[in-house]
Amino acid sequence: MGPNPVLVALRSVDRPALPPPLAEPADASPRARRIAMPIDVALILASSTRITAHSRDISMSGLFVLTDANLTVGAQIRIEIMLPGEEAFTEDEYSAKARIARKAEDGYGIELIDPDPALLKALAAL
């Protein structure tokens, strides 16, 4: 059996160059590492309405929440989340200002606004 023609082509000096990576849109914000983590999230609207949701993923800069609630993109809210504590089998509650950043079919992207250092430390430990 002869050499694999695909590998021969890839090892060739005159192989086609890889296309350059696509440029990010000018208004794109850098993405933080997402961690798929289902956690209970309370969204507290400016009207003091409390909406219970669940996260799909979470990062140092925000989270995606699954909810069928009708929220306004751009609205500022407060969130309350429970994250694993430093001790085994414990949880700690965190609260933060946030903004509804985008709407998707199954929920909303939530951006954290100036999160507390304790929350950032807990997120970094995930």
Entry field: residues in the chain:
126
Strands 76-84 and 62-66: unpaired
Average pLDDT over every residue of 59-68? 94
Read off the pLDDT of residues 90-99 as tens digits, 9 standing for 90 and up: 899 999 999 9
Q: Looking at residue 90, what is its pLDDT?
A: 87
Residue 126's Cβ-side half-sphere holds a number of Cα atoms within 13 Å equal to 22
Span 28-52, pLDDT tens digits: 556 678 888 889 999 999 999 999 9
Q: Which residues have C-beta within 8 Å of that of residue 19, sequence separation ≥ 6?
A: none
Distance, in Å, from the CA atom of 18 to the CA atom of 92, rounded to the nearest integer, reads 46
Q: pTM of whole model > 0.75?
A: no
Residue 24: pLDDT above 60?
no
- E-strand stretches of the chain: 35-36, 40-44, 50-58, 62-66, 76-84, 91-104, 107-113
Give the Cα separation of 59 and 42 in Å (integer): 17
Give the start-to-end residue ranges of the domains of the chain.
Answer: 32-124
- pLDDT number for residue 29: 59
Distances from the Cα of 91 to the Cαs of 28, 40, 72, 120, in angstroms? 33, 12, 30, 15
CATH number of 32-124: 2.40.10.220
The overall average pLDDT reported for the chain is 86
pLDDT of residue 64: 95
